[in-house]
Structure 1
């Protein structure tokens, strides 16, 4: 892994390949390893970069009072430090919320967006009652109990090839950092950002996503000008791991379209 300092925080990231830059933004209780099948597949044509957000993987812990705006500012700072502006931003779940905040605060860093199985914040996409219930459930979990294969993340059993990866990421979750990130997601309502997006946008959703249902995808499609929605059959919330070939095919096709104008 490589490391860069952004506003006094150590940010770790994985980088491979050569070509137009694509930056991957992982979901909650994950780190850059969650994008392994995408980095492996797309490094043949693109510069692929996956960050460890503050508090995850090899990055520094989140400071006290860290907020959604801070995640966005540090991601934009990483992009500028690597001199890859503008680039394509690809996010999953919580990563979509971070990307939307990046677009609100730093639109110039984005050449295009890929938003997968995500939210305009839990409050924005699911409503306050569901957002509060999810956050309360997370806070009630004892230390070290996070289950990366919990029901609702996948349409069926977790993909066997990636169970060791999921378990490794889960073992490295820092409870305080996870709760900081997911509290930010629970409180966020970024629905107003969707209509302001003026770059090419690809939506990718699992047809059986129980965490961010297709109704959220259709709301994104309705609000984001020109957005295209690709639905992966028989797939749940973590679509990039449950159906990596289908996910990568959609992503590569979109990146070709963006590259070719």
Structure 2
């Protein structure tokens, strides 16, 4: 549990377990503690490297905007710093966008990619979710004081007074339009998409995302040879907010990471 100086950011990371590395990237206003409920399941099979992204958790903010692309560069630099070529990367929500950009920008560094409750374009969120994202600013930060995310931030952040600035920067990020569909379709590594059946992302976007990765275009055949290298999991009885702590998540993720994935013939 320590820091790495990468790209002008003092990036906090933790290493747990042994084996092939799996990098975990938390969601907005979260930290490495986001994955505490599922960490015991993951470390039985993998070496887990959990990261606090710019301005989150134990990683202090720096004088640059929050961007998926720049945080992806931080992750890539950390992988090189730790000499972890071809690591597996799992990102949740905001961290999923960072993980996806890391795979797009540095495909040589990502062996397999797991995206949890993550759209490939901004308009992939439900309209009411987009409206809530667009409203995030310092005033909302004040209303969030005393909530579990704020209490965790107060406990671990190097500068707890940056809480309002984090909300302002995050809101500015979440108001930016993006559509990474062309880059998604060109990804060379297998991807596992994991969503809740009551997610903040509609099912039609989930199907479109899987389609970009080669899924859902034809029957796999009796022997499975028509199955794409990428996979889709929709976990029942969960939402965008509790999926990351459910034991159903590692149950879906670990087979994808540890079993051979056969590309269609």
Deviations 1:101-145 (A, max 9, x none): 11221111100011111122424x249x76863343212743332
CA–CA separation in structure 2 for the residues paired with 1:3 and 1:16 = 15
Matched, 1:207 2:209: no
1:31-50 matches, cutoff 5 A: 31-50=31-50
Give the TM-score, by structure 2 length: 0.81
CA–CA separation in structure 2 for the residues paired with 1:181 and 1:251 = 28
Paired position in structure 2 for 1:14: 14
Matched, 1:133 2:131: yes
Deviations 1:69-106 (A, max 9, x none): 21111111111111111111101111121112112211
Deviations 1:143-196 (A, max 9, x none): 3323898xxxxxxxxxxxxxx6x5643656723234324432431322222101
Select 2:205's aligned residue among 207, 216, 231: 216
Mapped contact 1:26–1:92 kept (Cα < 8 A): yes
Q: Which consecutive residues of structure 1, in runs of 5 or more, have no partner in the other structure?
A: 150-163
Mapped contact 2:25–2:51 kept (Cα < 8 A): yes
Say which is worse superposed, 55-64 or 77-86, in terms of deviation.
Answer: 55-64
Deviations 1:182-227 (A, max 9, x none): 4324313222221011211111111011x22222221211111332
Paired position in structure 2 for 1:154: none
Structure 2 residue matching 1:24: 3-state secondary structure: strand
Aligned length: 242
Paired position in structure 1 for 2:122: 122
CA–CA separation in structure 2 for the residues paired with 1:135 and 1:222 = 26
Displacement after TM superposition at 1:61 (Å): 0.8
CA–CA separation in structure 1 for the residues paired with 2:64 and 2:77 = 19
Mapped contact 1:204–1:232 kept (Cα < 8 A): yes
In our comparison, the structure showing a higher alpha carbon Rg is 2
Say which is worse superposed, 60-69 or 189-198, in terms of deviation.
Answer: 60-69
Displacement after TM superposition at 1:258 (Å): 4.9
Give the TM-score, by structure 1 length: 0.82
Paired position in structure 1 for 2:256: 254
Matched, 1:191 2:184: no
Mapped contact 1:29–1:169 kept (Cα < 8 A): no
CA–CA separation in structure 1 for the residues paired with 2:202 and 2:49 = 28
1:73-152 matches, cutoff 5 A: 73-123=73-123, 125-126=124-125, 133-139=131-137, 141-146=139-144
Paired position in structure 1 for 2:218: none
Q: Which consecutive residues of structure 2, in runs of 5 or more, have no partner in the other structure?
A: 215-227
The 3 A distance-change label for structure 1 pair 19 and 176 is: same
Say which is worse superposed, 135-144 or 58-67, in terms of deviation.
Answer: 135-144
CA–CA separation in structure 2 for the residues paired with 1:65 and 1:194 = 24
